[in-house]
Structures are given as structure tokens and as C-alpha cells.
Structure 1
Amino acid sequence: MSDWLFDLGNSRFKAARRRPDGGIGEVLAWPHSAEAMASGDDAGQVPLPRGRRAWVASVAATALTTRVMALLRERFEEVQVARTLAECGGLRVAYPQPQRMGVDRFLAMLAARAGGGDVLVAGVGTALTIDLLAADGIHHGGRIAASPTLMRQALQQRAVQLPASGGHYREFADDTEDALASGCDGAAVALVERSLRHARERLGREPALLLHGGGAEALLPLMPAAQLRVALVLEGLAAWAQLHAPDEADGPAPLPSR
């Protein structure tokens, strides 16, 4: 019976088998539909797996989280829910009230912490999130902004003649689709670059840059020094599981499934 890792985000539901060595297997993804997750009928997707223990991180709306948790409890013997802690695995969160920080940001930093060194963690999903983590495990805070995808959607909602997708990045575009892609992608890159500059000033040294999330790959050509770790949240959830699994570590007691 396998353990599985589940990341319920604002746009998609992602999962990976938890490997015995603490890593993650192939990443699966479903749209935000509990029925599609259960049946696997949507767009040819496989249904949710079954196993011994499900490790879950969710930043989705309460109603969707509740439906997904019910599905997982039908398929797994235990369901364990990750949450943001002030300290975990050598990571010390900057928030005075850690519970106010999204668990996805927390887990991404937990995964980044395992690699050592100073790192700026940038997640590109529905939101663009940026967090600075020093080599000693201290989180120096971060930023939240709209991702390029959300920027495009917001513009299209206010001005229906503007396409919500399409176009290519150009420094000075000569058509509307390219101008939109260039402006929205460029805004995200500029915020990351500004954060890198201030990170250098604060730490006195250059941090590594990690990009993760569904929109990260599209920005990678504009930031060639970045490292792409698309499934960083699931990697962090695997690290959380390693610390909290009752039969593998003498750490804190497992979180209740209800």
C-alpha cells in the first residue's frame, strides 16, 4: 500500500507517489472537479489512486477542499493534512502568525531548505509568490502578486476584446497579443529581478533562484539563471511527510484526518 502526496492549488489538483527514499514519483494532475477526480473521465485523466496514507496540502476554497478530502478518505486508510508551522525541518517562517501564510509557500521553502544555501523561491501559478530563504533557514519574508495568467484573465474580463492568452514575449511588440504577453510576463520577471536585487543587498551575497508552479516554465527563458523545480510544493510535502510519518520518524505526532 503506497503513500501519496496531494497538492490542491487554486487552479489544479496535483499528486505524486511518495517514494521510499523521500522523493516523489511522476506528477499527475486533475482539473478542479471532484467528480472528474473520482472517475478519471475528464480529458482522459486517471482516477484518484488508493493507498495507505494520503498527505495533503490545500490552498483551495473550503468547499472544494472538503469535497476532495471526502474522496481521499474513501480511498486511503489515513489522511494527513500539512499546515504552516513557525519552525519545521530547520526552516523558520518570518510571519508572526504562521497560520496566515499559505501552506504552498511554506512547503516550497521546506523543499528549498533541503538543498541548502540562500535561495529566492518564486512560485508561478494563479498568484506569483516570492520568498527569500537564507542558508541558515531563516525566512526573510516575501511578496504576492498576480501571475501573468491571472493578469491576462483580469484584463480580458474588463476589456473583452483583449485575448486572455496567446502571443509571444518581445521587448517592443508590434501587435496586441505579443504586447499583452510581453507586458504580463515582463511584469512578473521585473518583480522577481527586483526581489533578487534586494535579496543580494539584504544578505550580502547572491541567492539561487528557484522557479516552480504551472506557469514557471514559460518564464524560464527570460530568467536563464533560474532553476526549474515545477513540483516544488509536492517535494516539500514529501519532506513534511518524512518528518511527520509516525512509523518513520520520532517527530511530532501525526495530524488527525478529521
Structure 2
Amino acid sequence: MSTWLFDLGNTRLKCAPLEGDGIVVERARLDIAHDGARMFPATALDGLPSRFENAFVASVAGDELTTALLDALTQRCTRVTRVRTQRSCAGVRIAYTEPRRLGADRFLALLGAHARGAGASLVVGVGTALTIDLLAGDGRHLGGRIAPSPTLMREGLHGRAAQLPLAGGTYTEFAIDTADALASGCQGAALALIERSRAQATLQLGAPPTVLLHGGGSAALLPHLPGAASAPALVLHGLACWVAAMHAVPGIPGGTGD
């Protein structure tokens, strides 16, 4: 396994090897938590091979942490390539007037969604932020939304009112204690935005899109979104599509993009 993919977010690093046919090897996937502010611990990357050929990195983390990861990878592999959002790639066309202002994670999630071949999709990322992007069946990105995730909402409330618990509670429609009310309110706000986006997408497209959830906070929302599908490695799968489209890596089909 000489090619590895890296998805660096604000709280976690996800990585997995890529087989020669362009398939992400799920059984070898690593998930490494970090605090977003410091370099990785010395042992954080111990699950990686000591030497490999290619590293492809998508990052929305801060410059210091991104640089720390890139520096660490240069000690292990021959080539390190960082992904940037492009106007079009692998059949997807980005709606942004300035495509590079769309986060690499959102860009790659759209590539991964399009590669599933399931038609129009509402791609929902639940991490530090809640991101929602609408993708038409022909690969046109029709735009999206960004909002605080439920976790970030809880952190914001706790920061302004320390007596409100930072975590805990169970989702219920009408809670009878504070912890449950916080969980229900913050998760409910996210669910409402997703459902409104699904309703508006259905009006725009003439048919309901497939709702795909990814990100660390998606599991808590999934049971409350009928018909939605979990796609936990969507960004990594999109990164595999990008590699196949943009780079002639030995054993992986190469191509070009805009």
C-alpha cells in the first residue's frame, strides 16, 4: 500500500491507504483526534507504514497543524501533495464564483457523492461546522449552507453561560431537564436546517435528493432523518476520485481536470 489519503479536519485526522484500483481500504482506516491547536503527538502517526510513496492531503485545519502534518509525512514518503478545490473535477462542477473558497472537505465530499452514482444528493457534513451542499444528478453543484454544528452550539452556549453543561443529554421533542433540552435544541436546530434544505432541494429539482451524512457528529442526527444514508468516509472516497482524475499514480488510473 504505497499511497495514503489524509483528511485533516478541525478535531480529527482521518487517513486510509489506497489500493491500485482506486479503492479506499476501509479496514486499514485510521482516525486520530487532535485539539486543533498543537502539533500531533510523536506517536500519533505510528499506525502508518514507516515508508510509502505518495501522500495526498486535504486540510481545513489551521496552518500550524497542517504544516506539522505535512512535515511529518515528508519523513515517511516520497511525494506529498495537498488538495485544492477546483472548478471542475471527476464530473463535478463547483457553483462558487471563486471555487477555492469552497473548503477542500466539501469539494471532496461532492466528488465522493457523485461517484456513488445515486443521482441528486444533499451532502451534509457534521463536524465543527454543519455544511450542506446540493449536488444535481449531472454533477452540478447548486450551492450550499454553513452553520454551527450541534457540538459547536453547545460549546458556544457553555462559553457564555458556564452553568449550562457542555455535553450530555438525550434528544427528545420536549425535554423536561436542562441537559436534554440542550441536546434537543442544538440537534433539533441542525435537523431543521437539513430538513428545510431537503424540502427546498426537492422543489428545485422536482424530486427528493438522496441525503448523505458524514462527519463525527452525523451518527447522532441520522436516526432523526428518515431516508438519509450514512457515508462516514465520503471525503476520503472523494479524495480517491481526485487522485484518479488528477494524478498518474502507479496502479491508479490517471486523468486530467480543470
Q: Which TM-score band applies after superposition, normalised by the shorter structure?
A: over 0.9
Distance in 2 of aligned mates of 1:82 and 1:251: 15
1:174 aligns with 2:176: yes
Letter in structure 2 aligned against 1:11: T
Aligned-residue offset at 1:250: 4.5
Q: Secondary structure at the match of 1:196?
A: helix
Query: Mapping of 1:117-136 within 5 angstroms?
Result: 117-136=119-138
Distance in 1 of aligned mates of 2:77 and 2:105: 22
1:9 aligns with 2:9: yes
Aligned-residue offset at 1:80: 1.3
Note closer, same or farther for the CA distance 1:125–1:35 as it changes in structure 2 (3 Å cut).
closer
What's 1:21 paired with? Answer: 21
Aligned-residue offset at 1:170: 0.5
Distance in 1 of aligned mates of 2:185 and 2:47: 38
Distance in 2 of aligned mates of 1:155 and 1:48: 38
Distance in 2 of aligned mates of 1:7 and 1:219: 22
Query: Mapping of 1:141-220 within 5 angstroms?
Result: 141-220=143-222
Note closer, same or farther for the CA distance 1:171–1:91 as it changes in structure 2 (3 Å cut).
same
Q: Structure 2 regions of 5+ residues with no counterpart?
A: none
Aligned-residue offset at 1:47: 4.3
What's 1:115 paired with? Answer: 116
The number of residue pairs the alignment matches comes to 248
Q: Percent identity?
A: 54
Which whole-Å deviations, capped at 9, do the CAs of 1:40-73 have from their partners, x for residues lacking one?
3xxxx84444411001000011111111100011
Aligned-residue offset at 1:140: 0.5
Q: Secondary structure at the match of 1:17?
A: strand
Aligned-residue offset at 1:22: 1.7
Letter in structure 2 aligned against 1:60: A
Q: TM-score, normalised by structure 1?
A: 0.92
Distance in 2 of aligned mates of 1:243 and 1:34: 31
Q: TM-score, normalised by structure 2?
A: 0.92
CA RMSD of aligned residues (A): 1.5
Aligned-residue offset at 1:81: 1.2
Q: Structure 1 regions of 5+ residues with no counterpart?
A: 254-258
Distance in 2 of aligned mates of 1:174 and 1:252: 56
1:53 aligns with 2:57: no
What's 1:256 paired with? Answer: none
- Shift >6 Å, 4+ stretches: none
